[in-house]
């Protein structure tokens, strides 16, 4: 497996979202945090990709990050992702015999006994420090863009860099950037069910084609925000993506579209179509956890050509 493919899978972890009754809905942070804690342990020589122990160190590193990103009543329970990350297909928690998969609650009393191993190609990729760095950055861009500085700070252990036993950092065979943008696109199209948030056009070809007329647009461009969280995205058809990126139309914090005054309906029917969007509601996904963030909508509104 290539690093780009691994990053695509990290972008699509089955994290689950919190119910509306528990405050502002959001994705649960546990799985990406546990992976980052596991990478820490490997950096420090306390774990290897095929033996990541359930230990106090992994709980501590999980907790340190959890306290930075927790929202509302998120619970600090690293045992849950340690067990349930198994569902994502590359993490295998096993009993002390090293064989039997864990199908029960993991307890504090299991410390030092049970462990997990990476599988499905991740065990080879994660062995390389440079790949762990890229995967950490991808996890932060996708799940915690607003905490990038703290989560990627120098407080992280540096031992991997000076560890002579670590395999030399080798240049990845492919560009992780492409995995990142493909994964962002897939996630946005899934959330919006391939429908343009402006005109409602939906084109959903069979997955085998792997092409789409609907784009995943960033609200605040990735180059500026390093933010691939789905709340920094919007599904748009080619026309409306083009128009938004040229600041002729903008989605606003009240979840309605605004249009630029430079558009003149007498000049062309395309401009008349864009003007028709004024005051229309954004077509948003059901799950409020994925509604566009206010900051991105404000930013777009400010860019609109007056
Ligand atoms: Zn459209």
The string of pLDDT tens digits covering residues 10-69 is 999 999 988 877 778 899 999 999 999 999 999 999 999 999 999 999 999 999 999 999
CA of 1 to the centre of ligand 1 (A): 35
How does the average pLDDT of the chain come out, rounded? 90
In terms of domains, do 123 and 29 share one?
yes
Of 95, 73, 90, 110, nearest to 31 (Cα)? Answer: 90
CA of 200 to the centre of ligand 1 (A): 6
Task: Please tell me which residue, 38 or 157, carries the higher pLDDT value.
Answer: 38
Do 49 and 122 reside in the same domain of the chain? yes
Is position 174 within any domain?
no
Q: How many CA atoms lie within 13 A of 3 on its CB side?
A: 23
Q: Which residues of 274-285 are buried (b: 16+ CB within 10 A; e: fewer)?
A: bbebeeeebbbb
Residue 159: pLDDT over 60: no
Q: Which pLDDT score, from 0 to 100, does residue 241 have?
A: 96
Residue 21: predicted pLDDT: 78
Helical ranges in the chain per DSSP H: 3-11, 30-43, 56-69, 79-84, 122-125, 129-143, 148-151, 159-162, 176-192, 222-225, 238-245, 269-275, 294-303
Is 200 part of any domain? yes
* Residue 171, pLDDT above cutoff 50: no
Q: How far is the CA of 243 from the centre of ligand 1 (A)?
A: 10
Dist. CA 238 → ligand 1 center (Å): 7
Give one DSSP letter per residue of 146-173, joined into a string.
GGHHHHTSTTS--HHHH-TTSPPP---S
User: Is the residue at 173 inside a domain?
Assistant: no
Residue 168 is predicted with a pLDDT of 42
Residues 15, 128, single domain; the answer is yes
Task: Give 241 Cα–ligand 1 centroid separation in angstroms.
Answer: 8
201 and 250 share one domain? yes
Distance 198 CA to ligand 1 centre (A): 5
Tokens matching residue 100? 């039997």
Do 231 and 130 sit in the same domain of this protein?
no
Residue 104 lies in a domain: yes
CA distance 237 to 244: 11
- The confidence band for 306, taking pLDDT boundaries of 50, 70 and 90, is confident
Distance 88 CA to ligand 1 centre (A): 33
The pLDDT tens digits of the residues spanning 269-305 come to: 999 999 999 999 999 998 999 999 999 999 999 999 9
Q: How far is the CA of 156 from the centre of ligand 1 (A)?
A: 44
- Find the 11 Cα to ligand 1 centroid distance in Å: 25
CA of 258 to the centre of ligand 1 (A): 14
Task: Specify whether the CB–CB gap between 290 and 234 falls below 8 A.
Answer: no
Please report whether residue 169 resides in a domain: no
The answer to whether residues 78 and 195 belong to one domain is: no
| Domain interval for residue 250 | 191-303
197 with 271, same domain? yes
Q: Is residue 183 part of a domain?
A: no
Whether 146 and 267 map to the same domain: the answer is no
Count of C-beta atoms within a 10 Å radius of residue 125: 23
For the CA atoms of 174, 178, 184, 187, the dihedral, rounded to the nearest 10 degrees, stands at: -60
State the pLDDT at residue 155.
54
The answer to whether residues 133 and 277 belong to one domain is: no
Residue 67 sits in the same domain as residue 124: yes
Distance from the CA of 286 to the center of ligand 1, in angstroms? 19
| CA 297 to ligand 1 centroid distance, Å | 17
Q: What is the pLDDT of residues 63-88, one digit of tens each?
A: 999 999 998 888 999 999 999 999 99
With pLDDT > 90 as the criterion, what percentage of the chain qualifies? 77
Total domains present in the chain: 2
Per-residue pLDDT at 170 exceeds 60: no
CA of 181 to the centre of ligand 1 (A): 20
Is residue 229's pLDDT more than 90? yes
Residue 263, domain member (yes or no): yes
Domain match, 158 and 15 both = yes
Q: Are residues 16 and 119 in the same domain?
A: yes
Say if pTM beats, i.e. exceeds, 0.75.
yes
CA of 146 to the centre of ligand 1 (A): 29
What is the Cα–Cα distance from 189 to 234, expressed in whole angstroms?
A: 9
Tell how far the Cα of 277 is from the centroid of ligand 1, in angstroms.
10
Q: Is 171 a member of any domain? A: no
- Residue 252 alpha carbon to ligand 1 centre in Å: 16
């Amino acid at each position: 497996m290539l690093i780009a493919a691994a990053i695509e899978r990290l972008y699509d972890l089955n994290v689950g979202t919190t119910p509306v009754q528990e405050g502002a809905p959001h994705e649960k942070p546990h799985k990406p945090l546990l992976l980052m804690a596991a990478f820490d342990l490997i950096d420090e020589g306390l774990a290897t990709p095929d033996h990541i122990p359930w230990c106090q160190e992994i709980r501590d590193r999980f907790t340190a990050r959890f306290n930075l990103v927790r929202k509302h009543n998120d619970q600090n329970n690293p045992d849950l992702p340690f067990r349930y990350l198994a569902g994502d297909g590359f993490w295998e928690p096993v009993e002390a015999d090293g064989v039997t998969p864990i199908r029960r609650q993991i307890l504090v009393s299991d410390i030092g006994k049970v462990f997990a191993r990476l599988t499905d190609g991740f065990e080879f990729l994660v062995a390389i420090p440079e790949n762990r760095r890229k995967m950490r950055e991808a996890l932060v861009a996708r799940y915690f863009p607003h905490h990038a500085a703290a989560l990627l700070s120098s407080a992280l252990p540096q031992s991997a860099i000076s560890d002579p036993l670590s395999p030399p950092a080798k240049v990845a065979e492919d560009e992780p950037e492409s995995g990142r943008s493909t994964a962002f696109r897939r996630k946005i199209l899934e959330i919006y069910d391939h429908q343009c948030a402006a005109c409602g056009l939906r084109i959903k070809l069979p997955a085998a084609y792997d092409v789409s007329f609907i784009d995943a647009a960033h609200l605040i461009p990735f180059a500026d925000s390093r933010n691939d969280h789905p709340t920094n995205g919007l599904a748009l058809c080619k026309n409306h993506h083009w128009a938004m990126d040229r600041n002729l139309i903008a989605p606003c914090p009240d979840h309605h579209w605004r249009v630029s005054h430079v558009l003149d309906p007498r000049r062309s029917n395309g401009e008349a179509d864009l003007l028709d969007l004024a005051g229309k509601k954004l077509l948003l996904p059901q799950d409020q956890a994925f509604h566009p963030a206010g900051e991105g909508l404000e930013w777009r509104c400010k860019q609109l050509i007056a």
